[in-house]
């Protein structure tokens, strides 16, 4: 989404990033042979360093540095080993993983099947909205049992309800394996202060809340995925600074203040034809407008009113306002690039302000959105006002926005949901609009009551045949769209830009921060 700079001085943030860069040997020109540091950026500060509780994009990004997962997404398709060397889907309810025998925690503890099982048990035992998302993505809606065999080096995962998406689910950063020292100190784990918590390549060396974080490569780490196309050497130090203004990011990148930056808007275009930079594109987020259908909410049992809101909003205008027109059309709960994603424009409402005004005139609507999405928020608000509604906007930071949307339905009527478009899994996105809400142990942010859709979804994730699976999941999406429980807006295209001497990689549509490299 389009982010506007905060009043608190771009210069101060720029100075911080340049100061961080000065700690390394990198400058405006390529000096990769002289540095062991990569300076990169985050749009928002992490709210936790506990991967199991991470909910915002920044939480997920830093989790990938510190915690390894069983599998990783392949460079083109499928999966590659992470902490697992082999895996077998015995059925949609039973999976067996062979755990590599050379992986250790940052305090030297061997990562055995028991360590992995204990980490998953910790994840599935948390009563936390972020953890609920990871639980559902990894293990489905039923109960998961983890049976380690340290002598054989295997972990068996048994599910009470069939879930055909598990292999993809255990690639997600929220399933990163937390070492015993971290599980023993949950508060220290969340603060990033437990030295032995880390299973991944980097440990958190220092952090300044809301400003920056420094990660250091472990001397004993040798568990990199078997990537074939990744070139260069890992940085000994990764400095991450929080930068919310895309214009400033572009200036810092051209001046050498940062080495790798992420763009959502037209600022990235200046680098595409410049040989001094490399640009990697990927779909990052699917933006949907979600209706609050909880008990007593204005949109509960009122499909006509939901339809009117859909008629009042032009997705193309939202794209122009929020993403400089660089987003791509979206027709369902997530990106059209996903397997089993519907791509039927006829299921969406036609932009018709006059028709919308018949239902919306005189209505008061509370819009929930994330901070720094100012232009997109105003576009949505003005669209609803043009149809006769009164609109109030609540803009919260990433962590507060997530918590409010998931667990405080009394505070909003419609919300912009940024659905992660890099997971490769359509099923968790469907589950955001079906079944129990976060308050009831599920992941339904719309609080909708759609038993037909739930039945279709459950048949889809239980099916082992790919075609049968897609058939049910497509029908589940169709039921959501026909009920107008949400409105697809646009899928954004993000661009990772690395200046000369540095490299960054996108695997199967997923940008992996741990694959940033220095290229000599």
The owner of tokens 């906007």 is 393
Q: Is the pLDDT of residue 29 over 70?
A: no
Q: Across residues 423-447, what is the average pLDDT?
A: 92
Q: Quick one: pLDDT at residue 12?
A: 34
Query: Which is it for the CA torsion 453, 302, 438, 392, positive or negative?
Result: positive
Q: Quick one: pLDDT at residue 32?
A: 58
CATH number of 10-43+201-276+500-518: 3.40.190.10
Q: Quick one: pLDDT at residue 31?
A: 53
| 71-180 matches 283-493 in fold | no
The owner of tokens 């997600």 is 172
Q: Across residues 305-314, what is the average pLDDT?
A: 98
CATH number of 71-180: 3.90.76.10
Least-confidence region, from 103-107, 324-328, 447-451: 324-328
Whose CA is closest to 251, among 102, 464, 70, 41? Answer: 41
What's the whole-number average pLDDT of the chain? 91
Q: Across residues 39-66, what is the average pLDDT?
A: 92
| Tokens describing residue 383 | 């669209």
* Res. 18 pLDDT band, cuts 50 70 90: very low
In degrees rounded to 5, what are phi and psi of residue 156? -105, 130
Cβ atoms < 10 Å from Cβ of 354: 9
H or E segment to which residue 88 belongs: strand 84-91
Q: Is the pLDDT of residue 89 over 90?
A: yes
- Fold classification of 283-493 is Dipeptide-binding Protein; domain 3 (3.10.105)
Residue 475 has what DSSP assignment? H
User: Residue ranges per domain, the chain?
Assistant: 10-43+201-276+500-518, 71-180, 283-493
Q: Quick one: pLDDT at residue 26?
A: 38
Least-confidence region, from 184-193, 242-251, 361-370: 242-251
Q: Quick one: pLDDT at residue 142?
A: 92
Q: Quick one: pLDDT at residue 130?
A: 87
Decide if 176 contacts 200 (C-beta within 8 A).
yes
Residues 163-200: pLDDT tens digits? 999 999 999 999 999 999 999 999 999 999 999 999 99
List of residues 6+ apart from 89 with CB closer than 8 A: 95, 166, 167
- How far, in Å, CA of 503 to CA of 514, rounded? 11
Q: 3-state SS of 259-303?
A: CEEEECCHHHHHHCCCCCEEEEEEEEEEEEEEECCCCCCCCCCCH
List of residues 6+ apart from 463 with CB closer than 8 A: 92, 164, 469, 472
H or E segment to which residue 411 belongs: none
Decide if 289 contacts 313 (C-beta within 8 A).
yes
Q: Quick one: pLDDT at residue 33?
A: 61
Q: Is the pLDDT of residue 239 over 70?
A: yes
Q: Across residues 420-443, what is the average pLDDT?
A: 90
Strands 486-499 and 260-263: antiparallel
Cβ atoms < 10 Å from Cβ of 455: 15
Strands 414-420 and 364-370: parallel
Q: Quick one: pLDDT at residue 2?
A: 38
- How far, in Å, CA of 47 to CA of 285, rounded? 19
Residues 211-220: pLDDT tens digits? 999 999 999 9
Residues 448-489: pLDDT tens digits? 999 999 999 999 999 989 899 999 999 999 999 999 999 999
Provide the percentage of residues in the chain whose pLDDT is more than 70: 94
């Amino acid at each position: 989404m389009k982010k506007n700079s905060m009043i608190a001085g771009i210069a101060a943030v720029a100075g911080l990033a340049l100061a961080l860069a000065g700690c390394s040997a990198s400058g405006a020109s390529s000096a990769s042979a002289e540095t062991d540091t990569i300076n990169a950026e985050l749009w928002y500060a992490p709210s936790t360093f506990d991967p199991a509780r991470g909910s915002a994009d920044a939480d997920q990004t830093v989790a990938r540095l510190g915690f390894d997962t069983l599998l990783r997404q392949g460079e083109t398709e499928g999966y590659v080993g992470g902490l697992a060397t082999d895996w077998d889907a015995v059925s949609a309810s039973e999976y067996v993983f062979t755990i590599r025998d050379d992986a250790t925690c940052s305090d030297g503890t061997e990562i055995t099947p028991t360590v992995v099982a204990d980490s998953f048990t910790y994840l599935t035992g948390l009563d936390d909205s972020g953890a609920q998302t990871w639980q559902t993505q990894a293990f489905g809606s039923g109960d998961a049992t983890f049976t380690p065999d340290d002598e054989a080096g295997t972990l068996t995962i048994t599910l009470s309800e069939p879930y055909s998406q598990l292999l993809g689910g255990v690639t997600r950063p929220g399933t990163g394996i937390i070492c015993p020292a971290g599980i023993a100190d949950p508060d220290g784990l969340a603060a990033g202060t437990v030295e032995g918590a880390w299973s991944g390549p980097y440990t958190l060396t220092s952090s300044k809340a809301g400003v920056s974080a420094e990660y250091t490569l472990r001397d004993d780490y040798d568990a990199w995925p078997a990537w074939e196309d990744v070139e260069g050497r890992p940085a000994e130090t990764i400095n991450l600074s929080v930068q919310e203004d895309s214009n400033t990011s572009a200036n810092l990148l051209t001046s050498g203040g940062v080495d790798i930056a992420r763009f959502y808007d037209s600022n990235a275009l200046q680098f595409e034809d410049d040989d001094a930079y490399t640009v990697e594109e990927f779909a990052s987020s699917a933006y949907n407008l979600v209706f609050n259908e909880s008990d007593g909410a204005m949109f509960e049992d009122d499909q006509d009113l939901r339809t009117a809101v859909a008629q009042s909003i032009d997705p193309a205008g939202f794209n122009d306002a929020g993403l400089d027109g660089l987003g791509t059309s979206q027709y369902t709960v997530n990106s059209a690039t996903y397997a089993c994603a519907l791509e039927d424009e006829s299921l969406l409402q036609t932009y018709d302000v006059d028709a919308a005004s018949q239902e919306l005139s005189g209505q008061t609507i509370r819009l929930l959105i994330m901070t720094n999405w100012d232009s997109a928020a105003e576009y949505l608000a003005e669209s609803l006002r043009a149809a006769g509604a009164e609109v109030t906007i609540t803009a919260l930071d990433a962590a507060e926005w997530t918590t409010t949307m998931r667990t405080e339905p009394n505070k909003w009527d419609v919300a912009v949901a940024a659905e992660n478009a890099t997971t490769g899994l359509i099923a968790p996105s469907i589950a955001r609009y079906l079944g129990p809400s976060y308050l009831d142990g599920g992941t339904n942010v719309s609080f909708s009551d759609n038993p037909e859709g739930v039945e279709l979804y459950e048949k889809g994730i239980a099916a082992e045949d790919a075609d049968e699976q897609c058939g049910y999941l497509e029908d589940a999406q169709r039921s959501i769209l026909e009920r107008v429980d949400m409105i697809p807006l646009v899928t954004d295209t993000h661009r990772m830009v690395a200046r000369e001497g540095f490299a960054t990689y996108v695997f199967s549509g997923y940008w992996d921060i741990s694959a940033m490299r220095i290229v000599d």
